[in-house]
């Protein structure tokens, strides 16, 4: 296979990270050994140390880059939206697409934050906090009756809803995306109401 020397440097690291994401998602960080990771990309064992300083560094790089992508995408979508409800719709659609296209990454980020080193965890938590902030502002703008703790709790709940995707594959991708968007938006728009009754409006 011919390699282009200058522009296309990256492939091996990302190939390793993709394989690692799948294995970490399936067995947990501590349930996967260096040899497992190596043989998943066709090399064996310690060869990985030509590309990463440690197993911890693989997880760190993986979760940091996910968090950066989510934050950047969320901010971009929020900035491009016109109305508060449009903002919410954009954020939901963005997160749904990401979760459907990267189920392993979503799973690893949900389950293995606690296996990061302290500096890595601090950085990832900071990025996640800023991503949640984007959502909290959007929720409060679209549903002014929700105070901030309530909006924050709602954001986490919707993440749980959307991130459940990797564990249920009963629909094809587009139908699943439509269902998740619909459920997420319904749940979010009801956060503003106080009690049992509905406050439904048209789209």
String of contacts with a second copy for each residue 29-68, x by CB under 8 A: xxx-------------------------------------
- DSSP H helices in 102-147: 103-111, 118-142
Q: Which of 134, 69, 77, 135 lies closest to 98 in space, CA to CA?
A: 69
Is 118 one of the binding residues for a second copy (CB under 8 A)? Answer: no
Is 109 one of the binding residues for a second copy (CB under 8 A)? Answer: no
Contacting residue, 60, 115, 131, 138, with a second copy by CB under 8 A: 115
Q: Which of 61, 73, 127 lies closest to 97 in space, CA to CA?
A: 73
CB 20 → DNA: shortest distance, Å? 11
Nearer to DNA, 43 or 69 (CB): 43
Round to whole Å and give the CA distance between 180 and 132. 19
Is 3 one of the binding residues for a second copy (CB under 8 A)? Answer: no
Contact 13, 51 (CB under 8 A): yes
Nearer to DNA, 42 or 149 (CB): 42
Q: Which does 34 bind (CB under 5 to 8 A by kind): DNA, a second copy, none?
A: DNA
Structure tokens belonging to residue 126: 């900071």
Side-chain-facing half-sphere of 181: CA atoms under 13 Å: 20
Round to whole Å and give the CA distance between 166 and 105. 10
Residue 140's Cβ-count burial label (10 Å; 0-12, 13-18, 19+) is: buried
Which residues from 147-166 bind a second copy, rule CB under 8 A?
149-150, 152-154, 156-165
For binding to DNA (CB under 7 A), which residues are involved? 3, 5-6, 9, 12, 30, 32-35, 38, 43-47, 49-51, 54-56
Is 75 one of the binding residues for a second copy (CB under 8 A)? Answer: no
Q: What is the torsional sign of CA 171, 175, 177, 178?
A: negative
CB 128 → DNA: shortest distance, Å? 24
Q: Which does 122 bind (CB under 5 to 8 A by kind): a second copy, DNA, none?
A: none
Neighbours of 187 (CB within 10 A): 14
| Interface with a second copy (CB under 8 A) | 26-31, 111-112, 114-115, 149-150, 152-154, 156-165, 167-168, 170-171, 175-176, 178-180, 182-184, 186-191, 193, 195-198, 200, 202-203
């Amino acid at each position: 296979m011919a390699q282009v020397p200058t522009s296309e440097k990256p492939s091996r690291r990302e190939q390793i990270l993709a394989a690692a994401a799948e294995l970490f998602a399936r067995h947990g960080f501590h349930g996967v050994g260096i040899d497992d990771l190596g043989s998943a990309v066709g090399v064996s064992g310690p060869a990985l140390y030509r590309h990463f300083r440690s197993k911890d560094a693989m997880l760190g790089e993986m979760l940091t880059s996910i968090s950066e992508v989510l934050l950047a995408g969320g901010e971009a979508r929020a900035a491009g939206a016109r109305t508060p409800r449009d903002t919410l719709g954009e954020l939901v659609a963005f997160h749904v697409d990401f979760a459907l296209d990267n189920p392993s990454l979503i799973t690893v980020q949900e389950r293995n934050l606690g296996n990061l080193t302290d500096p890595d965890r601090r950085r990832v938590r900071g990025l996640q906090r800023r991503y949640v902030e984007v959502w909290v502002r959007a929720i409060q703008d679209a549903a002014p009756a929700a105070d901030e703790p309530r909006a924050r709790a709602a954001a986490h709940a919707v993440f749980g809803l959307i991130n459940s995707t990797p564990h249920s594959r009963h629909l094809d991708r587009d139908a699943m995306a439509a269902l998740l968007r619909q459920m997420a938006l319904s749940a979010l728009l009801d956060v503003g109401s106080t009690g049992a009754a509905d406050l439904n409006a048209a789209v």
